[in-house]
Amino acid sequence: MCGIIGYTGKDAAKDIMLDTLELLEYRGYDSAGIAVCEGEKSQIQVYKCAGRVKDLRNLCEKEEIEGTCGIGHTRWATHGGVSSENAHPHKYGKVTLIHNGIIENYKDLIGKYGLLDQLHSQTDSEVAAAVLSHFYKGDPYEAIRKAVLKLKGTFALGILFEDIPGTIFAIRNVSPIVVTRTDNGMMLASDAAVLGQYSEEYFVLPEFHILELKEEGATLYDLSGETAEPRWLVLDWDTSRSGKDGYPFYMEKEIMEQPEVIRETLQPRIYEGVPYFTQDEIPDHLLRDCERICVVACGTAMHAGLVGKALIHSLVRIHMDVELASEFMYSDIVVDEKTLVIAISQSGETIDTLEALKYAKKNGARTMAIVNVRGASIARESEYVIYTNAGPEIAVASTKAYTTQLAVLYLLAARMAYVRGVFDKERTAAFTRELMRVPEVMKQVLDRREEIHDIARGILDAADVFMIGRGLDYCILLEGSLKLKEISYIHSEAYASGELKHGTIALITEDTPVIAVVTQDKVQSKEFSNIKEVQSRGAEVVLFMKETYTLDKAASFRGVFKLPVMEDEFMVMPASAALQLLAYYVSLDKGLDVDKPRNLAKVVTVE
């Protein structure tokens, strides 16, 4: 993970870097640093500390930092704990370096280049700086070329050489680096999203190409020394303009935005009452001719895939798997030209998903991506892409990205059923009409958020929580449970409620609140029986159920939230919004940093 930034030009590098690093914090926020090259004096000063970018800003405010060329970094610790020594940039000899990725053979390199007593940090990144320094005899290209051939793993490196003032060098393998020109100079960053405020175009540094960035422009060389031409792309994604609109946290704002962004994701893809993907240039034969679908994704995006699988199974009746992207390549999964691999990712930069997608492509599969951030690596790598129109999602806990991914999967399921002749036009139109009700029904849940806030107060002190349901209810509880865990730090486990009695029910006590979701007609009576089973063991149950269901007079619940009614396959949407709010209010009332939970980063770019 980690965010990286570089600027060289006429303006004060410090201000640009600090502003941009703040926006890059979603890539990691345990420590931060900048290195500034003081013009012709060619001195490189490093300022870094453990903590957030605001701590670095405080540190820098006490100093006079005047340079117009610099590199900056915000870290998510992998090798070496959170400390100012382990923060980047790392200075070794004449080399100062920032790194995103993991140098897997750092231990071998320490031995090979006799670095054991020479390093000041515990990071793999400082080892990369030392290897570069070892090869640096005045020719930066030779040093970079020789050094990167020794590095194993993934890396995006931004480099300053003490005796080459005003110039930033960079090189990468897998981990992204993008480059843009501003009115007064040139910039590089780990992703384009933060460059939107400076420019309207950018290019992606090709892998294993050396970038030389000076005030007047960028030059690219491949490793044999040949120059290469950058491929400029339009930059239409700007996270810097995304404010909180008066909400205390981005997460609340993003939850509340869902009706609008779901509508914006659906509307342009509906024509004459049925879904179509002409604007995304997805040909019908891709959806008609595939014999199997395989979703690769991580975390919340993977949970969206599980809902998609349940839908597509029941609507289209074709074989579909959902694979954890991090396991995909190591599980000997068979894909071929009849397999459609769908990579789902909010950021479009998750390295596990990106690598799984590349693997699928290499093995002949057709590929499609469902991505939120425009122009992201996964979108570029995939044969076809469908963008969710969620807009920038800043909170680490994903909410609107998830429900817009679901919206796309509903559209895909319906289009697939239509082009395969499973649905006629009328049935497709009826499905689409119900889908178009989602924004309004979801809004009804959001408008009643104080009811959910009350329910949240009842589980603030829980150490463990179980979430139970069946079918689609279970699918969304997996996501609801992840949400609660990541922002409230309450241990929570989602369980298919029929499975509980096969072991896990041993953990149910009166101190273990159980959250149950019951929205599916065909399994509701069984779900209510499973609720009784945990209540008989003393558990207090919070219930989210379709409002048309009736409860036994004698039944007692810690809280009941009645969900507005939709057809069963669509209940996922209002129920998900309710679970998001539950997690949000628990975290809020516990006084936690809702948007930036501990140990996490929004974009996960290490394997």
Give the phi and the psi of residue 143 in degrees, each rounded to 5: -65, -45
Tell me the DSSP string of 336-367.
Answer: -TTEEEEEEESSS--HHHHHHHHHHHHTT-EE
Q: Find out whether 102 and 46 touch, Cβ atoms under 8 Å.
A: no
Q: Find out whether 76 and 28 touch, Cβ atoms under 8 Å.
A: yes
The stretches of 448-595 forming alpha helices (DSSP H) are 449-457, 472-488, 524-536, 572-589
Which 199-258 positions form the footprint of ligand M6R (CB under 6 A)?
none
Q: Out of 22, 191, 473, 486, which residue is the one contacting ligand M6R (CB under 6 A)?
A: 486
Could you tell me how many residues of this chain bind ligand M6R (CB under 6 A)? 15
Residue number with CB closer to ligand M6R (148 or 297): 297
Question: Of 271-279, 293-301, 408-416, 563-571, which segment contacts ligand M6R by CB under 6 A?
Answer: 293-301
The answer to whether 353 contacts ligand M6R (rule: CB under 6 A) is yes
What's the one-letter identity of residue 361?
K
Active-site annotation holds for 602 = yes
Query: What are the start-end ranges of the E strands in 280-355?
Result: 292-297, 319-324, 339-345
The answer to whether 350 contacts ligand M6R (rule: CB under 6 A) is yes
Which one of 2, 69, 290, 294 is the catalytic residue?
2
What's the one-letter identity of residue 227?
T
Give the phi and the psi of residue 374 in degrees, each rounded to 5: -65, 140
Q: How far is the CB of 570 from ligand M6R (least distance, A)?
A: 22
CA distance 346 to 411: 18
Q: How far is the CB of 486 from ligand M6R (least distance, A)?
A: 6
Q: Out of 345, 382, 428, 492, which residue is the one contacting ligand M6R (CB under 6 A)?
A: 345
Active-site annotation holds for 37 = no
3-state DSSP assignment of residue 236: coil
Binding mask 360-399 for ligand M6R (x = CB under 6 A): ------------------------------------xxx-
The answer to whether 89 contacts ligand M6R (rule: CB under 6 A) is no
Q: Find out whether 564 and 441 touch, Cβ atoms under 8 Å.
A: yes
Tokens of 586: 């628990």
Residue number with CB closer to ligand M6R (32 or 378): 378
Q: How far is the CB of 251 from ligand M6R (least distance, A)?
A: 9
Residue number with CB closer to ligand M6R (298 or 446): 298
Tell me the DSSP string of 377-428.
Answer: HHHHHSSEEEE-------SSS-SHHHHHHHHHHHHHHHHHHHHTTSS-HHHH
The answer to whether 586 contacts ligand M6R (rule: CB under 6 A) is no
The answer to whether 298 contacts ligand M6R (rule: CB under 6 A) is yes
Q: Out of 31, 180, 190, 346, which residue is the one contacting ligand M6R (CB under 6 A)?
A: 346
Distant-in-sequence, close-in-space partners of 98: CB < 8 Å, separation ≥ 6: 2, 4, 6, 33, 35, 71, 72, 73, 88, 89, 90, 125, 157, 158
The answer to whether 406 contacts ligand M6R (rule: CB under 6 A) is no
Q: Return the C-alpha torsion angle 255, 257, 263, 268, nearest 10.
A: -120
The answer to whether 477 contacts ligand M6R (rule: CB under 6 A) is no
> Helix/strand/coil (H, E, C) string of 472-504?
HHHHHHHHHHHHHHHHHCCEEEEEECCCHHHCH
Residue number with CB closer to ligand M6R (254 or 568): 254
User: Considering only CA atoms, which of 3, 435, 458, 346 is closest in space to residue 191?
Assistant: 3
Question: Of 37-45, 195-203, 292-300, 417-425, which segment contacts ligand M6R by CB under 6 A?
Answer: 292-300
The answer to whether 299 contacts ligand M6R (rule: CB under 6 A) is yes
Question: Of 342-350, 413-421, 431-439, 445-453, which segment contacts ligand M6R by CB under 6 A?
Answer: 342-350
Residue number with CB closer to ligand M6R (345 or 587): 345
Residue number with CB closer to ligand M6R (300 or 512): 300
Question: Of 10-18, 146-154, 345-353, 496-504, which segment contacts ligand M6R by CB under 6 A?
Answer: 345-353
Q: How far is the CB of 258 from ligand M6R (least distance, A)?
A: 14
Residue number with CB closer to ligand M6R (27 or 443): 27
- Label the pairing between strands 31-37 and 201-204: unpaired
Distant-in-sequence, close-in-space partners of 210: CB < 8 Å, separation ≥ 6: 141, 144, 145, 169, 170, 171, 220, 221, 222, 223
Question: Of 10-18, 32-40, 296-304, 584-592, which segment contacts ligand M6R by CB under 6 A?
Answer: 296-304
Residue number with CB closer to ligand M6R (398 or 512): 398
Which one of 91, 94, 546, 602 is the catalytic residue?
602
Q: Where does this chain bind ligand M6R (CB under 6 A)?
A: 298-301, 345-347, 350, 353, 396-398, 482, 486, 604
Catalytic residues: 2, 602
